Amino acid sequence: MRQPRASLRWLLLAGMAALVALPAAAQTCRGTLYLTIDTGWSREAEEIAAILRRRNVRATLFVADEPTARGERTLSPAWAPFWRARAAEGHVFASHTWRHWYFSGDAGPGRTRYASRAGEGSELLDQAALCAELERPIQALKAMVPNATVLPLWRAPGGRTTPGAVAMARQCGLTHQGWTANGFLGDELDAGAHPNRALLANNLARIRDGEVLIMHWGVRSRREPFAGILEPLIAGLQERGFCFATLPAEGRR
């Protein structure tokens, strides 16, 4: 006996909902993805953390001391419970600079220009000052989460580096880690021009094995929070056979 079309549609929708709602089961990996999360505005931090927990995803968290939607800063003591919980879940950490300023050019060997996009000033960093800028967020994190796993990696704000900054950071023992060609998930883009439904479809179509993915714990300017599609995005990628891993200590290119 044929089922009514309405019943078939209901069964299809129910199956899709179950795929998103259920945690990821053990699977044979047909590829590996590396999710990385920068601090950002952190408006959806708890929502994102819950999604990662449900989907059994471990990420590499790049930390800087940025202002948040709660009125504190991301590496202030008020955020200690959040970072402790992430470490307990198996996420790992790396430096995203302390002030989240931008590298804008070298000024000769051993000197690189570092400038605020918010008009707070600029300065030339020498070797010692650059190392201190990259080490300070990790010191703040370790003071709150002594058992945090920290990788010898760093990420420049906006991914904008200079040859001098990259070389000097290597002298600090740190390798720069950006993201791969299809790894930009789009959470910083204008929601009017790039609505969530389009980001979800584009990411599911473009992401390939080995991608280093980048997102934030929330972006202040985005009116349609990216967290709204994170779970179906992860579920869709897992359905394609992708597993998620934290970055190796040497990073990925």
> In the sheet that 102-106 helps form, which strands lie side by side, from edge to edge?
102-106, 112-115, 122-125
pLDDT for 3-13, tens place per residue? Answer: 444 443 333 33
Beta bridge partners of 32: 243
Which pLDDT score is estimated for 11? Answer: 36
Contacts of 221 (CB under 8 A, 6+ apart): 188, 190
Q: For residue 11, count other CB atoms closer than 10 A to its CB.
A: 11
Q: What percent of the chain has pLDDT over 70?
A: 89
Give pLDDT tens digits for 226-253. 999 999 999 999 999 999 999 999 999 9
Higher-confidence residue: 19 or 90? 90
216: three-class secondary structure by DSSP? strand
pLDDT value of position 28 = 84
CB 221 within 8 A of CB 187: no
Q: How far apart are CA 77 and CA 83, in angstroms?
A: 10
Residue 21 has pLDDT above 50, yes or no: no
| CA dist., res. 234 & res. 236, Å (int) | 5
Question: pLDDT per residue over 159-201, tens digit each?
Answer: 999 999 999 999 999 999 999 999 999 999 999 999 999 999 9
Q: Which domains does the chain have, with CATH numbers?
A: 28-244 (3.20.20.370)
pLDDT at residue 27, rounded to an integer:
63
SS3 20: helix
- 111-115 mean pLDDT: 98
